[in-house]
Amino acid sequence: MAVTSNSSNMVVGLDIGTSKVVAIVGQATDDGGIEIAGIGSHPSRGMKKGVVINIESTVQSIQRAVEEAELMAGCDIHSVYVGVAGSHISSMNSDGVVAIKEREVMPSDIDRVIDSARARAISEGQRVLHVLPQEYAIDAQGGIREPLGMSGVRLEARVHLVTAALNAVQNIEKCVRRCGLEVDAIILEQLASSMAVLTEDERELGVCMVDIGGGTTDIAVFTEGAIRHTAVIPIAGDQVTNDIAMALRTPTQYAEEIKVKYACALTQLASSDEMIKVPSVGDRPARDLSRQALAEVAEPRYEELFPLIRDELRRSGYEDLVAAGVVLTGGTARMEGVVELAEEIFHMPVRIASPHNVRGLADVVRNPIYSTGVGLLHYALQEVRHGHDRDGRMVAAPPKRNDVSQRGGGEWIPALAKLKGWLKGNF
């Protein structure tokens, strides 16, 4: 698929996951949706539980995924929006108060109140990823979404602060830069996924979004249209694969294939008559196994994971406020019986969500495994549209950069930019 001549409007999302690296190229459509121009995916080798454990392997996986996306979109990729996850992520809600200078709220007042709210003691080695405004209050009037231009004396802001381990973020940036790419922004993965799969009604009513990936389960809670709580549980699909590999005595790559094709999270739904071939280790012949026996291996892991999510939701204090229930996404949520088991444990409505409002390769990307990748595009295009800075605050819209250019454009990176990138990555 050829990229249109207006290639500067295109953005690239890079989801560096535990099981796979996905690069998605897209551009905004007139109705606020996304046109997907290219997608590249490659198994991830150097990640564990959302953290880089092998730089070289991660670099190779990123390169393969980016090359594939470039080939499909017919373009060169220069910069990307990168997702980050892992148990090093922490979050908190914070308040800030300032006096309104001109008796009318100006952009500078909003910046000051958000700076006031983010002035919290953060442990050494942590970095603020996002400062997400939840609501504002002017004098005694609360629940304000957009205070700009309103009259008053005292401006309060309630924000959601997300922090990540500095080393973990630097390692991801290092891997991306080693591929010759610039990092536009580092985005929390569950924030990105929520942009791709949640509807406005769900955010307003109250919803808990759970992105079950390969290495981590990412949770985001929304009420009254704003994000209230984020958390990461370091248990996900890899544990299911390992359980299958151990119980069935089969190599991990075959265990992954069996899980994707035949596994079921609820034993009652699996037939005991349906048999599957299980490859053995070494040159031993393959064995026959009933699908029900496979479900008996997978079910306990989900029965362990869902109560952990429920406990996290209880701890957040928002369990009674998520009227829209639970929305599951991510590759590990696609298994048969997951919704039924989740409804049994959560005692609330559960649905599996795929990215919506996408065109182009819609039949490919309408799959829970691409939720984070498509969500990164939503975040990027929102940033371009509204001119937000990295923390989520309003700034003057940046000049458009050709982060994706036509092949054969003969673009060169100035020496100064290279030097800047090297300094950023190393210091």
Distance CA 88, CA 167 (A): 10
Asked if pLDDT for residue 46 goes beyond 90, the answer is: no
Could you tell me what percent of the chain has a pLDDT over 90? 52
Mean pLDDT rounded to a whole number for the chain: 85
Could you tell me what percent of the chain has a pLDDT over 70? 89
CA-only gyration radius of the chain, Å: 23
pLDDT at 181 (0 to 100):
92
pLDDT at 425 (0 to 100):
61
Q: Reduce the DSSP state of residue 354 to 3 states and report it.
A: coil
Q: Domain 90-163, what fold?
A: Dna Ligase; domain 1 (3.30.1490)
Asked if pLDDT for residue 133 goes beyond 90, the answer is: yes
The kind and range of the H/E element at 154 are: strand 154-165
Q: What is the mean pLDDT of residues 371-389?
A: 82
Check: CB of residue 61 under 8 Å from CB of residue 83.
no
> Whose CA is closest to 269, among 339, 332, 337, 333?
337
Give residue 420's Cα distance to chain centre: 27
pLDDT at 421 (0 to 100):
61
pLDDT at 400 (0 to 100):
40
Q: Domain 1-89+164-197+357-427, what fold?
A: Nucleotidyltransferase; domain 5 (3.30.420)
Architecture of the domain whose range is 199-352: 2-Layer Sandwich (3.30)
Common-topology check for domains 1-89+164-197+357-427 and 199-352: yes
Q: Is the dihedral of CA 119, 122, 125, 126 positive or negative?
A: negative
pLDDT tens per residue across span 218-261:
999 999 999 999 999 988 989 999 999 999 898 888 898 899 88
pLDDT at 419 (0 to 100):
60
Check: CB of residue 214 under 8 Å from CB of residue 220.
no
The residue length of the chain stands at 427
pLDDT tens per residue across span 184-196:
999 999 999 999 9
The kind and range of the H/E element at 130 are: strand 126-138
Distance CA 110, CA 96 (A): 10
The first and second tokens of residue 342, run together, are 């989740």
> Whose CA is closest to 333, among 367, 358, 378, 375?
367
* Residue ranges of domains in the chain: 1-89+164-197+357-427, 90-163, 199-352
Check: CB of residue 125 under 8 Å from CB of residue 62.
no
pLDDT: which is higher, 199 or 31: 199
Q: Reduce the DSSP state of residue 249 to 3 states and report it.
A: coil
